[in-house]
Amino acid sequence: MGNTSPRPPALNQDSVDGVYTQRREDSCQNLSTSSSGRSFASVNSHQSTFSVSRPWSRVSRRRWKESTLTLPYESSKTAWPVSQIESFFLPEFPFRSEGKHFTNLGEINKGAFGKVYKVSDEKGTLYALKVLSKSKIIRENAVQQVKDEVRIQRVCGHHPFIVDCPFHWQSKKRLFIVSNYVAGGELYDLLKTYTVLPVALVKLYVAQLALALDFLHNAGVIYRDLKPENILLDASLNVQLIDFGLSKWLPYGKTTRTICGTFLYMAPEVWTGEEYGHGVDWWSLGVIACVMLTGKHSIDGQRLAAAASEHDQIRSSY
């Protein structure tokens, strides 16, 4: 069974002004002369022979794209110049075999998928560079989570109390996310040093965080992980909201029910598995205000831990 109709005859020199035939000859020549081990697609083959182990060069990508867009007989190619692991993170993370040049000034932090470094560019401007492992992200089924994180930060990063993300790209094995460097440290460190903050300063920080949250909510984003560790202080001691790893696109007025966040700052409807909306971010802000004023959380930690044991393990995936 199957298709028993004869294969159409090969195109002659006059076909498509002879370009198709010439490109076939070039392909055969490249196949016979290459010793690099890279896979090539035969003109007569109906199968993809892309090699995942070795991505195409920049010139090969450009030639493939140009020929596919301009030649009608080339649009049926099955050999793609993009590997599967690369396509997972497109278009949010464009592929670059050589990224932007930064000078590593030391490690800042470490997370589940990688590390964060303090870097500087050729002009001396400081940035925070997050380097993530693509294999770990795929293994934890967090591809969409990372893509949402970058998109949200790019869309909302122009707000004065949200850290901007000017650059992001991918290489063969890693993702790179560059954010503006904030020199004042975490609000957590400030609370650890002074325990209780002056009322005037608490009012300022609550107001700035409220403006940032309101901006995110009106943009269709729920933050879901507001805590002192995710609040940085700039040189003027104004707040800067970072880490959108648990944020999600959620139209205002809609609900979700994913259990995620940091337990001590989590609204009750989140860890009980009920549907919740943007209001859970305001709960977290209230807990932070309480911590800044009193040095204690609004709910006893042991009671929360006991309640958590009655529910499924806290998840951070979608």
Active-site residue numbers? 225
The Cα 165–Cα 153 span in angstroms is 6
SS3 201: helix
- Written as six digits, the tokens of 163 are 């850290």
Cis amide linkage into residue 91, ω under 30° from 0 = yes
Asked whether 147 and 89 are in contact (CB, 8 A), the reply is yes
CA distance 156 to 243: 12
What 107-112 contacts at long range (C-beta under 8 Å, 24+ apart), as own/partner pairs, is 112/136, 112/140
For 54-80, letters b (16+ CB in 10 Å) and e give ebbeeeeeeebeebeeeeeebeeeebe
Q: What share of the chain is helix, strand, coil (3-state, %, to 5)?
A: 40, 15, 45
